[in-house]
Structure formats: C-alpha cells, structure tokens
Structure 1
Amino acid sequence: MPNLTLPAIILRRVDFGDYDLILTFFSLNKGKISAIAKSAKKSTKRFGGILELFSVLRLVCSTAKGRELLVLQEADLINSFSCIRGDLKKTAYASYFAELINEWSETGSEQEGIYRLLYFVLDQLDICRIPEEILSIIFQMRFADIVGVRPNLSVCTDCRIEIDRIKEDRVAFDFSKGGIICQKCACISVNRFFLSKGTIKQLLWVESGDLSKAAKIRFTPSSVKEGLGFLESFITYHIGKELQSLRFLKQIRRKDE
C-alpha cells in the first residue's frame, strides 16, 4: 500500500462507528479525496485535535488498488483557521464554500485553481480583512469561472449588444440562457433575476481582477445584497437544489437584519 503525501483542506467530517472519522478533503494535487481516520476520536495523541473543519493539513495517506477510500496515517497542521470556527457567521460562510465544492467536485479530479481560491477566502475570513459578504461574491464568481459555468454579464445573450450599450439601468439575467438579456430581446421567463448595471460591472471586475487587490473592492450595500442574491440563485440553479449550508446562512442574515 503506497503512501500519498499532499496538502489538503477539510471540507467535511462524519463520525464512523464509535472511534473513527470519515473525512472529505480538497487537496492541491488530487482534488477531492476521502479518507478514514481510524481511532481519531479515541486517541488524541494520534492527530492532536487537528482534524477540524476548514483546517489545512499535510496528509500522509495509504492507498490500495481498487479502493476509493484512503486511510489517513499522519497529518501535520499547516493552518487551523481557528478564528472562523469561533464565529457563527464566518462558520456559516465557510460551510457554504466547503459544501459547494464538495457537492460540485468529482473525486480525484485535480483542480488547483479551486484549492487556491478556497485557501484565499478561508484565510481572509480568518484574518477579518474583507467582509464576509464580499468574500462570498468573490468566491462564487471565481468558482463559476473555474468550473466552466461563468455567467455571461458582458453582452446580451441573443443579440450580442455590449452591456455598456444597453440603455436600461436594470438588466435581466436569464438563468436558462446563462446570460443577460437586453429589453429588446427579452421574452416572458420565470428564470430571471434583475441586476443594476453598476452591480454587473463590479461582478465583472471581481471575476477578472487581481485577488491581491480584493480588499480594495467597494460595494454599496444594495450591490452587495443584489450580488449575493444573484450568485446564490445562479449556483442553486446549476446544482438543482439549495444547499443546506446556504439555508442556514440565509437564516443568520435574517437575524442580523
């Protein structure tokens, strides 16, 4: 049974029997992987309490031909992101990011861009430099681009007129077509979301701008609300269901209003 060594972020942990844990990771080199940590709950010495959600670890796993589930042999902590787990709102956002990746990704499909994006938003959540809502907008826009479902916000999906040449201040996004629709091309559709041109331009910057400058992004409160509403609806449309973590996140937001 050869060993596999790689950095990875914990997306999910599930109790298995009395003492074991089944862990789902997103790794830098192998994408989503799952491993069993035997006696992890029984012996604190073995893993030292580091198998917590969102933690970044360097794993040593044993592999066996024909078996999808790895066995976690060793783990060294790279970053615990402990401030996230100490804050309910931050935990809710991190849980949404993790569940989205877990739901969307296929096991063993390498996507380095997703790993680096997740590390970036978790790091920013932990150090509190960028508001949670802005990080969520960044994550969802970049994630959609990486996985190949980026929303077309630049031109009308039908006539190809550019967003700057559309006269109306609010533009319809048609989920079934995957892009904006100008008023001339619009028809009756239940799968629509209306966005202001100002919000659209900010979303376009988030999609292609330098992540190192993300802390300088300035959204108005209305653009934040509009952008989150649109992206969460967009992601839900493509997945085909509303994620449990997103329902919980919306409950927290309503309490804060």
Structure 2
Amino acid sequence: MAMRSARGRTAHRSAALLLHSRVLGEADLILQFFTRDYGRISVIGRSARKSRKRFGGALEPFHQLSVEFDDRGPDAELGVLRDATVQLPRVGIVKHLENLELAGRGLAWVRHALPPRTPEPAAWRACGTLLDALNSSPPDVAPRVLAEFGFDLCECLGWALELDACVVCRRPCPEGQSAGISPARGGVVCRECGGAQRVLRGPTRMRLIGLGRGEHLETEDAESVIALVEDILRAHAGLD
C-alpha cells in the first residue's frame, strides 16, 4: 500500500520479514526486509539501536511484521523506516536451537537469492510456510522442512532442476536410479555427457520430483538436498 508521507515522499506499508540488520553509528540500524508487496528492500532505522521503544521491539527475525517506510526513489539505496509492528509472532522457533539455526539459514538463502525491489509472491508464500512449520515442528523434522523450502525457493525464482532426463542429450533417467546433478547446467547430466560432481541418490531424486505433487521428503534426504540447494544458490545467486 502506497501513501504520501508528511515530507512529500512516497510512503509504503507492507507485511515483511526481517532478513538482516547491521549497526550504523551509535543509534541507527541498516535493515533489510523481504516485503510481501515490494520485494527485498533496505532501509535505515533511525534510533532503532538506541531505543527499543522506537519500534516497539518489533525488529526481530522470523515474526511476520507490518512495516511502513519512505521510498526516496529508485536512485536512493536506502529508504527510511517509519514504523514496524509484529503482525504474526513465531515464538516457537526460538524454543529449539535446531529450529532457530535452520530458520536463520533459510532467511540467509532468501537474502542472497532475491533481487532488490522485485515482488516475489511465490517466494513470500514459501517463506511463510517454512517459518510456520519451524514454529510448530519438533527439531528432528526441521532439516526436512528446510530442505523442502530450499528446493521450493529455487523453483520460485526460476532455478528449477530437470530431474527426470539429461539436460544435454534428453535421455530419460530411469526411475529410482542415482544421477549426477549440475545446478549450473540445470539438472541431470548423464555419464555419456560428462556427468556431474554432485550425485543424488535415486530415492531422493524421485521424492524431489514428487514435491510438485504435494509429496514430502524423508528425513534421510535432508542433508543431501540442503547441499544441493546451496549448490544451486552458488551457481545462480553467488551464495558464499
């Protein structure tokens, strides 16, 4: 939602997730949000560090926030945060260290992957699904939840992998067979076409294909799928 601020600038309000914050001077914070309506934005929070009362303690990760910010135009790197309130608290995430760490890892992926100032409604919904699940899931389920989110995020951003045939020669990959996966080339690369360093077990590959039909991964898939997601993000988003 856009409106005119008292200073004549364009003010916007949107649901948001806090992705990152860093200190600026003695009192201010540079804040990066993923907003539902405007995508990834960076703003300055005046006196946000000096006084928690300034934004009512709302500048915490994982909760869904409502933020209002002034947009100083496409040539300005930073907007100005005017207001932030908690819309949907997710206090359950911090009850388990595993869930807390994996939620932070997922939002770090989002921060690296999203282009600035570009709405990504599918990615926004995926983030909500991830955080809601980690808010209520036991720690032993959390890695699988993150793995499914990461694969979904890559698909939302146009980096889906071809998993049922070689991307070079189009030869079908037999059901249940392990396969070499090249994120940079877009999916399976058979041995005749050079193969790939990352090898995905056949059952895991089939369950990844099944995600599009509403199926789920197994706990045993989580580690390899998370590693695959980070390979995709390195190839396409410069993940460290």
- Give TM-score, length-normalised by structure 2: 0.85
Amino acid at match of 1:236: R
For 1:116 and 1:175, locate their aligned partners in 2 and report how far apart those are by CA, in whole Å. Answer: 24
Deviations 1:155-186 (A, max 9, x none): 122332323xx278322223442221334x24
1:1-257 matches, within 5 Å, as 1-65=9-73, 66-128=75-137, 131-163=141-173, 166=174, 169-183=177-191, 185-187=192-194, 191-206=196-211, 208-210=212-214, 217=216, 219=218, 221=220, 223-242=221-240
Paired residue secondary structure (1:57): strand
Paired residue secondary structure (1:11): strand
Deviations 1:96-152 (A, max 9, x none): 221222112221111111111111101111111681111122111111111111111
Q: How many residues align?
A: 230
Shift of residue 153, structure 1, vs aligned partner? 0.4
Q: 1:112 to 1:167 in 2, by over 3 A?
A: closer
RMSD: 2.3
The residue that corresponds to 1:252 in the other structure is: none
For 1:67 and 1:186, locate their aligned partners in 2 and report how far apart those are by CA, in whole Å. Answer: 47
Amino acid at match of 1:235: L
Report if the CA contact (8 A) 2:38-2:117 is conserved: yes
Greater helix proportion: 1
Q: 1:173 to 1:45 in 2, by over 3 A?
A: closer
Q: Percent identity?
A: 23
Q: 1:68 to 1:230 in 2, by over 3 A?
A: closer
5+ residue gaps, structure 2: 1-8
Deviations 1:39-68 (A, max 9, x none): 122233221211012221111112323423
